[in-house]
């Protein structure tokens, strides 16, 4: 599910590369990843027209994680978006989007084991996970 024709995929690929460089020792790459994620957020906020749009929520949460992880005592936290971003780039599976889809404002059914199973075990879908869940 490599969506190389989608601008979103290119944002994620560039960010994954920067996170890789940062974890390899180039600390400035983390700042570049944060800056690129801010541009990604702004782009999708303008495109979607509102902060509550699901793609914007994902990018806001992602930017928050990257900014938090830049703080030296929790720098190891960068391994989480590193793994999740590469999963998104290589397989179209976005763990963060799946977690956000479970927030009360994003779901229409009560929390259940069935919902958790469908959310985390369903294959990637075109668009976003909210569009792919029943």
DSSP H helices, the chain, are 7-23, 28-48, 54-69, 79-91, 95-101, 113-121, 129-132
User: Tell me: the pLDDT tens digits for 5-27?
Assistant: 889 999 999 999 999 999 999 99
Q: Mean pLDDT over all residues of the chain?
A: 92
pLDDT at residue 41 in the model: 98
Q: What are phi and psi of 51, to 5 degrees?
A: -70, -25
Of 101 and 134, the one with more pLDDT: 101
Q: Please tell me the pTM assigned to this model.
A: 0.89
CA 100 to chain centre: 10
Mean pLDDT, to the nearest integer, of 43-63? 96
pLDDT at 126 over 90: no
pLDDT of residue 129: 61
Q: What pLDDT is recorded for position 30?
A: 98
33 pLDDT higher than 80: yes
Crossing angle (nearest 10°) for helices 28-48 and 54-69: 160
Nearest to 85 by CA among 5, 14, 1: 14
């Amino acid at each position: 599910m490599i969506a190389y024709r989608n601008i979103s995929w290119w944002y994620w690929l560039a960010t994954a590369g920067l996170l890789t460089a940062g974890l390899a020792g180039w600390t400035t790459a983390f700042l570049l990843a944060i800056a690129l994620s801010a541009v990604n957020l702004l782009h999708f906020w303008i495109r979607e027209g509102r902060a509550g749009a699901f793609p914007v929520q994902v990018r806001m949460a992602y930017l928050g994680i990257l900014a938090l992880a830049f703080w030296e005592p929790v720098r190891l936290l960068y391994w989480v978006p590193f793994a999740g971003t590469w999963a998104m780039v290589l397989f179209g599976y976005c763990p963060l989007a799946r977690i956000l889809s479970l927030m009360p404002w994003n779901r229409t059914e009560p929390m259940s084991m069935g919902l958790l199973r469908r959310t985390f075990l369903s294959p990637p879908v075109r668009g976003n996970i909210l569009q792919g869940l029943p």
